[in-house]
Structure 1
Amino acid sequence: MRILVYGAGVLGSYLAHVLVRGGNNVTMLARGSRLDELQKNGNVIRHYFQFRSTVDQVNVISELQPKDIYDLIFVVMKYPDFQSVLPALAANHSSHILLVGNNASPLEMRDYLLASSPLKKHVAFGFQVSAGWRETGRMFCVRGPQVQMTLGGLGEDLRWRTVIDQAFVNTKYKLVYQQNMDEWLKSHFMMVLPLNFIAPAYNGDLRKAAKDNKLLHQVIAAVDEGNQVLEKLGYTVTPASQIKLARKQRKMFYLLLKFMLSTPVGKILLGDKAVSADEISALYQAFNDLKSSANITTPNWDILGNYSPSSQR
């Protein structure tokens, strides 16, 4: 398959690696120093837990032209950056687009692409479970033995999923389909955003944060408040275990948090650079909009919001 990975950060680079190893003809869209790196050295990834590095040669472009046709386009980037690339995606004549990453407004993005494109578009949304960071010339990827992507449409069956399945047919990569990714994505950031207030509360010192029992209980309570906002607005929190963990298994949640914050993995997943400040700010604003619509109080979110970049403006 002819595939474009639009976005060459940590997640996009790993996805491109998987797709190349699966036998696809992969192009990456990159700019600046990352474009130079890919053209000079290829897609270099250090697989952190696997103690190995890989190099994949990929096609590289810096702009998406309307007549650049791909069987499938993966758009892998931070939530605040999606908006700026929608016009180029709408103008492009490729039919199948999968937007991957945190996303508080997938319905609006889908509707824009459908309304603004000169041809019929098939649009889906996904979230890839991996992490990492960038160093000059290569990406460090933190993942398990099999990376998973949760993906799907927005309340409808994804009738064109065979196109996506074909891209991964020769890979060790797990696809988990959800019927309503709008609910899944909103549920996801209700869980992860409170966790990402922990590091800023202690200027990145997670070991100190792990000793602040009050803060950890506020985080757990905030997750439950976020779930309540979604429930009040008629969303189904997905997965359902998220409600159970924050509402009925708080002691387990608390112990998991303390353990995670005390390990190197916790620094990677919950460190002050795990999620960018602009993405935290954008997701926090999205939460405030939902909270306003639900018209309920969220005292623990309000406290944690003091550590949000948006509160420092």
Structure 2
Amino acid sequence: MKLLVYGAGVLGSLLSARLHEAGHDVSLLARGERLAALRRHGVRLAEGDSPAVRRVPVPVVEHPVGGYDLIAVLVRTHQVDAVLESLAGLEGDVLFLLNWAAGAEPLGAVIGHERVLLGFPTAAGTMDGDVVRYRATNLMTRLFPMPIGEPGGRTTPRLERTVRAFRTAGISAKAEPQMDAWLKTHAAFEVPLGQAVNAAGGPVALADDPDAVRGMIRLMRQNLAAMPTPPVPRGFVALQTLPEGLLVAVLRRFLRSSTAAHSGLDGASPAAAAELERMAEQMRAYARGR
């Protein structure tokens, strides 16, 4: 497969490096200072807090050119519109691996409905200068594989081929027949969580304010109730059915955990705030249309 990874942040860099090491014909699209750093040193990876850094010479491009079998888009939600314009004239299927609660329709309207695949990257990491630090267990765990699906829920040869490509690169992935519902469920949880963490000044500060956690849970429940379909995965039904007091205790424990500390919930940034607002807009839109 000839692949293009569109977006050279933590996840785009990590996935492109893994695909390159597995022997795939992959290029990484980057801009500005990140492009210059990648041209000098390639993708630089380190596992956890290890001082050992390895260099992966992934080919980098500034603009998408030619035809691809698959373009994997890893950008923030509010950046998608600009990306769509640059993809409209290219060939190849497009896998959107990002926060997206608006469904496939607005994506397909620009680049062609037959090209769209939906997914979400469940790996996590941080950028330390130009070094991507990640946890191998998060990348390869079978407990939380990266879901990828067709907008209509079918199992197609291209979906199977895409999942297989990631698996051969050591990236845990699976076909998800309800990918749109999965993304809406994630947004219903993620937006109140991110906004509450940012308002409190960090996950630990939020954990120390049980009233704020309680308000966050109520917003999550409102979002889930507004969804046009039941939550996916089904485990999120617990947010609607478990006693509020129990959920407050569970989420306060999570907010103090190392998982929360390494998940990016450590403060607001302009980009993160813009993404949360765009996701909130998408949820308000489907709630109005219900």
TM-score, length-scaled by structure 2: 0.88
Corresponding residue for residue 154 of structure 2: 157
Worse-superposed segment, 156-165 or 278-287 = 156-165
Alpha carbons 2:198, 2:268 under 8 Å: kept: no
Corresponding residue for residue 297 of structure 1: none
Alpha carbons 1:43, 1:138 under 8 Å: kept: yes
Q: Give 1:236 deviation, angstroms.
A: 2.6
Query: CA 1:165–1:37 in structure 2 vs 1: closer, same or farther (change >3 Å)?
Result: same
Q: Give 1:140 deviation, angstroms.
A: 2.4
Whether 1:114 aligns to 2:107 is: no
CA distance in 2, matches of 1:169, 1:268: 24
Corresponding residue for residue 35 of structure 1: 35
Number of corresponding residues: 282
Which structure 2 segments of 5+ residues have no match?
A: none
- SS of match in other structure, 2:173: strand
Corresponding residue for residue 124 of structure 1: 117
- SS of match in other structure, 1:98: strand
- SS of match in other structure, 2:230: coil
Q: Give 1:282 deviation, angstroms.
A: 0.8
- SS of match in other structure, 2:172: strand
Alpha carbons 2:148, 2:159 under 8 Å: kept: no
CA distance in 2, matches of 1:289, 1:228: 14
Worse-superposed segment, 131-140 or 84-93 = 131-140
Corresponding residue for residue 214 of structure 1: 211
TM-score, length-scaled by structure 1: 0.82
Please tell me the residue identity of whatever aligns with 2:119. G
Note the 1:1-313 alignment, pairs <5 A. Answer: 1-48=1-48, 52-65=52-65, 68-93=66-91, 95-105=92-102, 106-114=104-112, 121-142=114-135, 144-145=137-138, 146=140, 148-159=145-156, 160-204=158-202, 206-230=203-227, 234-248=228-242, 250-269=244-263, 270-273=265-268, 276-294=272-290
Alpha carbons 2:99, 2:120 under 8 Å: kept: yes
Query: CA 1:136–1:224 in structure 2 vs 1: closer, same or farther (change >3 Å)?
Result: same
CA distance in 2, matches of 1:52, 1:223: 40
Please tell me the residue identity of whatever aligns with 1:74. A
- SS of match in other structure, 2:53: strand
Alpha carbons 1:76, 1:100 under 8 Å: kept: yes
Identical aligned residues as a percent: 24
Query: CA 1:125–1:104 in structure 2 vs 1: closer, same or farther (change >3 Å)?
Result: same
Worse-superposed segment, 183-192 or 269-278 = 269-278
CA distance in 2, matches of 1:49, 1:237: 36
Alpha carbons 1:22, 1:168 under 8 Å: kept: no
Alpha carbons 2:96, 2:117 under 8 Å: kept: yes
Query: CA 1:215–1:142 in structure 2 vs 1: closer, same or farther (change >3 Å)?
Result: farther
Q: Give 1:271 deviation, angstroms.
A: 1.8
Alpha carbons 1:194, 1:219 under 8 Å: kept: yes
**Root mean square deviation, CA, Å:** 2.2
Which structure 1 segments of 5+ residues have no match?
A: 116-120, 295-313
Query: CA 1:216–1:47 in structure 2 vs 1: closer, same or farther (change >3 Å)?
Result: same
CA distance in 2, matches of 1:258, 1:92: 46
CA distance in 2, matches of 1:51, 1:256: 34
